[in-house]
C-alpha cells in the first residue's frame, strides 16, 4: 500500500569530493558550501534558518545538551570572508526562540553586531522570529517579510508567497538526504533543492537535522516543484557538490492528513 514508488537518494554513496567551496546555480547565483547563497549582482549573502541561540534555547526548555554554538558563528564569518557581501540577509528563523536568556542574548547580539559591522544586515522574519523585533529591534538590523533583487524573490516559506516571475529562494523546509560514506557510516547531509522556478536552501544551523527528502513531502513542496525533476546539491560546510542524478519528489497524500497547508493554490 504505502510503499514508496521511488526513493530519493537513499543511502547514496558519496565518491570523494573534489575541492569545491561553491557552485553556480544560475549565472551570478552561487550556492556556498556552508548552505548560504551568494548573489553577485546585488552582492548579497543569504542564510536560511540559522536558529541562533539554539543550544541555550533548548536548555531553557529543559534539555540538557551542551551549551555550544555548534560553530555557526564561525561559519557565518567564513562565508562573509569568502564573499565580502554588501548585505547579509537572514532568510527567516534567524533565532531559535524569543525572549532569550542573558548569555543567549549576548551571543546573538554579538553575532548580529559583528555582521552589521561588515555588511548591511537584513532579517526576513520567519516563524521562529515572532519576538525578534522586540528582542533585537535595537540592533542595526532591518526586518522585512520578503526580500528581492532583480533576479530573485527570497521568502522564508512559512506563509503564502506571492506569484513571481523571479526565481524563488526559500528556507523553512530544512532539506537533507541520508548518505553513507565508504566506511559504511551513515549521516545526514543538508542539500539545496534546485528546480526550474525555485530553490530551497538547506538550514544553515548545524543543529537542524533536516527533513529527509526520501520521506513523503508536505504540500509546500508540491507548490514549489510540482511534478518536475529537481537537482540536489549537498553542502557539507567545506564543500558543495551536485548529486549526479535528477530526482523526483514524493508527496504526502493530502487526504491522509499530511501537512497544514493541504488546501494548495
Q: Which of residues 101-120 bind Zn ion (CB under 5 A)?
A: none
Q: Rank residues 39 and 94 by Cβ distance to Zn ion and give the closer one.
A: 94
Stretch that binds Zn ion, among 105-113, 123-131, 135-143, 183-191 (CB under 5 A): 123-131
Q: Are 34 and 79 in contact (CB under 8 A)?
A: yes
Binding to Zn ion by CB under 5 A, coded x per residue (else -) over 32-51, reads: --------------------
Q: Rank residues 211 and 225 by Cβ distance to Zn ion and give the closer one.
A: 211
Does residue 126 touch Zn ion according to CB under 5 A? yes
Considering the complex, what minimum distance in angstroms separates the CB of residue 170 from Zn ion? Answer: 10
Q: Rank residues 9 and 191 by Cβ distance to Zn ion and give the closer one.
A: 191
Q: Are 227 and 193 in contact (CB under 8 A)?
A: no
**Angle CA 190–191–196, to nearest 5:** 160
Stretch that binds Zn ion, among 26-34, 93-101, 176-184, 230-238 (CB under 5 A): 93-101
Secondary structure of the chain as H, E, C letters: CCCCCCCCCCCEECCCCCCCCEEEEECCEEEECCCCEEECCCCEEEECCCCECHHHHHHHCCCCCCCCCCCHHHHHHHHHHHHCCCEEEEECCCECCCCCCHHHHHHHHHHHHHHHCCCEEEEECCCCCCCHHHHHCCCCEEEECEEECCCEEEECCCCCCCCCCCEEEECCCCEEEEEECCCCCEEEEEEEEECCCEEECCCCCCCCCCEECCCCECHHHHHHHCCCEEEEEEECCCCEEECCCCEECCECCHHHCCCCCCCCC
Considering the complex, what minimum distance in angstroms separates the CB of residue 211 from Zn ion? Answer: 11
Q: Rank residues 127 and 248 by Cβ distance to Zn ion and give the closer one.
A: 127
Considering the complex, what minimum distance in angstroms separates the CB of residue 49 from Zn ion? Answer: 6
What span, in angstroms and rounded, lies between the C-alpha atoms of 94 and 62?
Answer: 21
Stretch that binds Zn ion, among 8-16, 126-134, 160-168, 231-239 (CB under 5 A): 126-134
Q: Rank residues 93 and 104 by Cβ distance to Zn ion and give the closer one.
A: 93
Stretch that binds Zn ion, among 90-98, 130-138, 191-199, 234-242 (CB under 5 A): 90-98
Count of residues interacting with Zn ion (CB under 5 A): 4
Binding to Zn ion by CB under 5 A, coded x per residue (else -) over 151-180, reads: ---------------------x--------
**Within a 10 A sphere around the Cβ of 48, how many other Cβ atoms?**
33
Considering the complex, what minimum distance in angstroms separates the CB of residue 45 from Zn ion? Answer: 19
What span, in angstroms and rounded, lies between the C-alpha atoms of 36 and 26?
Answer: 14
Q: Which of residues 16-35 bind Zn ion (CB under 5 A)?
A: none
Q: Rank residues 22 and 174 by Cβ distance to Zn ion and give the closer one.
A: 174
Does residue 210 touch Zn ion according to CB under 5 A? no
The residue within the footprint of Zn ion, chosen from 11, 68, 110, 127 (CB under 5 A), is 127
Q: Which residues bind Zn ion (CB under 5 A)?
A: 93, 126-127, 172
Amino acid at each position: 500500500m504505502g510503499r514508496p514508488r521511488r526513493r530519493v537518494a537513499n543511502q547514496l554513496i558519496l565518491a570523494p569530493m573534489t575541492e569545491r567551496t561553491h557552485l553556480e546555480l544560475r549565472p551570478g547565483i552561487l550556492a556556498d558550501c556552508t548552505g548560504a547563497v551568494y548573489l553577485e549582482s546585488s552582492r548579497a549573502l543569504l542564510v536560511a534558518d540559522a536558529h541562533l541561540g539554539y543550544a541555550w534555547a533548548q536548555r531553557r526548555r529543559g534539555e540538557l545538551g551542551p551549551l555550544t554554538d555548534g560553530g555557526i558563528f564561525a561559519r557565518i564569518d567564513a562565508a562573509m570572508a569568502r564573499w565580502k557581501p554588501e548585505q547579509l540577509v537572514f532568510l527567516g528563523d534567524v533565532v531559535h526562540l524569543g525572549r532569550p536568556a542573558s548569555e543567549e542574548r549576548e551571543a546573538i547580539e554579538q553575532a548580529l553586531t559583528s555582521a552589521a559591522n561588515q555588511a548591511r544586515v537584513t532579517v526576513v522574519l520567519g516563524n521562529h522570529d515572532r519576538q525578534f523585533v522586540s528582542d533585537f529591534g535595537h540592533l542595526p538590523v532591518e526586518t522585512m517579510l520578503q526580500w528581492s533583487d532583480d533576479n530573485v524573490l527570497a521568502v522564508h516559506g512559512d506563509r503564502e508567497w506571492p506569484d513571481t516571475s523571479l526565481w524563488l529562494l526559500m528556507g523553512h523546509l530544512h532539506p537533507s538526504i541520508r548518505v553513507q560514506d565508504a566506511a559504511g557510516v551513515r549521516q545526514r547531509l543538508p542539500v539545496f533543492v534546485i528546480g526550474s522556478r525555485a530553490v530551497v536552501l538547506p538550514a544553515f544551523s548545524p543543529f537542524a537535522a533536516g527533513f529527509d527528502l526520501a520521506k513523503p513531502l508536505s504540500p509546500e513542496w508540491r507548490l514549489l516543484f510540482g511534478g518536475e525533476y529537481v537537482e540536489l546539491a549537498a553542502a557539507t560546510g567545506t564543500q558543495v557538490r551536485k548529486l549526479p542524478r535528477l530526482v523526483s519528489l514524493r508527496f504526502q497524500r493530502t487526504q491522509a492528513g499530511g501537512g497544514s497547508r493541504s488546501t494548495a493554490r
